[in-house]
């Protein structure tokens, strides 16, 4: 279908042109422009690296390596050709090669991609956590899938058919057509259309590959374990304290309650192998200095607080995070044998009661 320019008297079809005719190149132009406006491809993505090639025994490079909001890695491959060449095969290789990447690997890659002499890994970590909406890294949820986006001036029938076949077998791969048009005045427009799979049909695709199925089953198992862990903890906690009263078991890795002052929370956290009771200081967006001020004011009474608590606590400023934390870590988590759960849950509840008792008087006196 053509694109028309509307004038007062008529519809004038725009002239289809080619990137080569306009002096636009893959790496120097398309890659650079899409890197700076990755939303053109229709996804909420974070560009992690350009020309990524950090692997052994291969000199191949991913045009753009990205991360999506579900913590999936995304391989973006670009061509300015009219048929896409064999980019689907190339991208599949890249997706397989990048799939073992961990959260720490990805943060390091993002830090190095800034092109500064001393890469700031903590700043890169903060950027990723904010993009994902996480407070802490979660390797269980990171890199659950590796997606592919192919962007080209057009795609051959063979390539499009291959992509549709791969989609039917659960591989998340899509084709985005970038078609340039020249206006009468010389301006060049870019028509961006996802053509495979058709956006209208995506929600009806039910085929999934074995890997996705296994990952969902693993996720469901993890959520079930967490929910059962919290159920036992809350049942025991009701016999000891009103803290977290009214809270229901959840599939998440944490349970929060107040301590009588906005911006301060008493939080249970459970991970695979350990858990914790913590006081979280998070006064809101733009209040990093107030968070630190409150933390320092409490830390000035560390001796008295730890005496009241009965043992040392872990005091964490977390300068690259949205708050500060004071916590007690307990051995054992939701992957511990279930017969060990009561012991872990009792230790957590006891630590939370003592933490509340030790912290509450000082929290109430803060002037921030």
Domain limits, CATH 3.40.1350.10, in the chain = 4-101+143-207
Higher-confidence position of 194 and 58: 194
| 213-365: CATH architecture | 2-Layer Sandwich (3.30)
Residue 253 has pLDDT above 70, yes or no: yes
Average pLDDT, the chain: 90
What integer pLDDT is reported at residue 254 of this predicted model? 93
Summarised one tens digit per residue, pLDDT across range 99-123 is 999 999 999 999 999 888 899 999 9
Summarised one tens digit per residue, pLDDT across range 118-165 is 999 999 999 999 999 999 998 888 998 999 999 999 999 999 999 988
Domain limits, CATH 3.30.1460, in the chain = 213-365
| pLDDT > 90 in the chain, percent | 69
Summarised one tens digit per residue, pLDDT across range 348-362 is 999 999 999 999 999
Where does 4-101+143-207 sit in CATH, by number? 3.40.1350.10
Evaluate whether 106 touches 54 at the Cβ level (below 8 Å): no
If you average pLDDT over residues 202-225, what whole number do you get? Answer: 64
What integer pLDDT is reported at residue 56 of this predicted model? 67
What integer pLDDT is reported at residue 204 of this predicted model? 47
Distance CA 345, CA 270 (A): 10
Predicted TM-score (pTM) of this structure? 0.56
């Amino acid at each position: 279908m053509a694109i028309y320019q509307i004038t007062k008297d008529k519809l004038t079809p725009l002239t289809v042109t080619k990137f080569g005719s306009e002096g636009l190149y893959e790496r120097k132009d398309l890659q650079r422009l899409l890197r700076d406006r990755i939303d053109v491809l229709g996804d909420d993505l974070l560009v992690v690296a350009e020309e990524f090639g950090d692997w052994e025994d291969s000199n191949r490079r991913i045009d753009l390596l990205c991360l999506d909001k579900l913590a999936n890695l995304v391989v973006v491959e670009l061509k300015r050709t009219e048929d896409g060449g064999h980019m689907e095969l190339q991208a599949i290789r890249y997706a397989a090669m990048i799939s073992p990447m961990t959260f720490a690997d990805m943060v390091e890659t993002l830090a190095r991609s800034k092109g500064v002499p001393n890469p700031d890994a903590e700043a890169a970590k903060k950027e990723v956590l904010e993009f994902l909406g996480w407070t802490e890294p979660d390797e269980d949820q990171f890199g659950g899938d590796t997606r592919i986006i192919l962007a080209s001036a057009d795609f051959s029938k063979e390539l499009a058919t291959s992509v549709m076949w791969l989609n039917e077998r659960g591989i998340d791969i899509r084709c985005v057509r970038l078609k340039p048009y020249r206006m009468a005045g010389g301006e060049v427009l870019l028509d961006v259309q996802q053509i495979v799979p058709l956006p209208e049909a995506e929600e009806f695709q039910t085929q999934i590959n074995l890997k996705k199925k296994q990952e969902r089953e693993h996720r469901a198992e993890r959520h079930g374990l967490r929910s059962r862990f919290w159920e036992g903890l809350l049942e025991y906690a009701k016999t000891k304290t009103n803290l977290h009263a009214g809270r229901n078991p959840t599939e998440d890795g944490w349970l929060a309650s107040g301590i009588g002052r906005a911006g301060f929370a008493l939080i249970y956290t459970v991970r695979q192998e350990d858990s914790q009771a913590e006081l979280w200081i998070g006064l809101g967006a733009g209040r990093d200095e107030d968070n630190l001020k409150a933390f320092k004011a409490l830390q000035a009474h560390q001796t008295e607080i730890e005496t009241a608590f009965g043992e040392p606590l872990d005091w964490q400023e977390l300068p690259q995070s949205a708050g500060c934390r004071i916590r007690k870590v307990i051995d054992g988590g939701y992957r511990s044998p279930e017969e060990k759960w009561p012991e872990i849950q009792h230790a957590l509840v006891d630590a939370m009661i003592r933490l509340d008792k030790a912290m509450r008087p000082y929290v109430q006196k803060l002037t921030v």
